[in-house]
Amino acid sequence: QKEVEQNSGPLSVPEGAIASLNCTYSDRGSQSFFWYRQYSGKSPELIMSIYSNGDKEDGRFTAQLNKASQYVSLLIRDSQPSDSATYLCAVNNPNAGGTSYGKLTFGQGTILTVHP
Amino acid sequence: DGGITQSPKYLFRKEGQNVTLSCEQNLNHDAMYWYRQDPGQGLRLIYYSQIVNDFQKGDIAEGYSVSREKKESFPLTVTSAQKNPTAFYLCASSIGTGGLETQYFGPGTRLLVL
């Protein structure tokens, strides 16, 4: 079982729809969760971070975290063609590895395509 | 402007050659990281550094080396021992390494083998 799993997609949604991206993780000690967006050929850029169970909203983006079920999701409302990218889920356990460094583990990413 | 710079954007390596990728940050971040990304895959950690003159191996350190002589700089050398170096290399930094800090990425260097 992979430590952080995402459906690789592609996920295709029409413009204006809600895109729902999901991520599950295996390490129950994980405490911080991040969503990055990566355009083709570019580096990842932070979209959202979430640390507590529940929802966190920022503009058109909502991150949802459920630690009991070990999943984190990202909702994109009113999807635009400019949202077409790969979305990377990253999970951090501050106590992993036996050192003071928290191990940030990435999923393989979900490709999102928003068509006009 | 604060940020992370990486150079060069593209790098070509010949067989048996060592090459060095540059990473500089002016965010005053203590921690710096190097990741490798292969097509269709997530990021894998090569090395990380929490403070100057200290660095630790990540998950795939074999065939790579780093140094951290200045807070702002964390260069990565891809040695001839790395047999499959073609990948997208990403440098990142964070304020600390307590485990909750966000990592921010530079623009990346694409390494190709001739």
A105 beta partners: A91
- A108 and chain B in contact, CB less than 8 A: yes
CB contact under 8 A, A44 and B56: no
A94 versus A110: which is more confidently predicted? A110
* Gap from A92 CA to chain B (nearest CA, Å): 6
B48: which chain A residues are within 8 Å (Cβ-Cβ)? 101
pLDDT at A101: 62
- Min CA distance, A88 vs chain B (Å)? 7
Asked if the model's pLDDT at residue A1 lies above 70, the reply is no
- List, as ranges, residues 15-54 from A with C-beta within 8 Å of B: 31-32, 34, 36, 42-46, 49, 51
Instruction: Provide the pLDDT confidence category of residue B76 given band limits of 50, 70 and 90.
Output: very high
User: What integer pLDDT is reported at residue A93 of this predicted model?
Assistant: 78
How much of chain A exceeds pLDDT 70, in percent? 92
Q: Report d(CA B15, CA A93) in Å as an integer.
A: 38
Residue range A11-34, pLDDT digits in tens? 999 999 999 999 999 989 888 999
User: Six-digit token pair at B22?
Assistant: 């540059």
Could you tell me the two tokens for A23? 């991520």
Chain A residue numbers with beta carbons less than 8 Å from the beta carbon of B31 are: 101
Note the pLDDT of residue B42: 86
To 10 degrees, the CA torsion angle through B87, B2, B53, B38? -10
The CA distance from B17 to the nearest CA of chain A, in Å, is 25
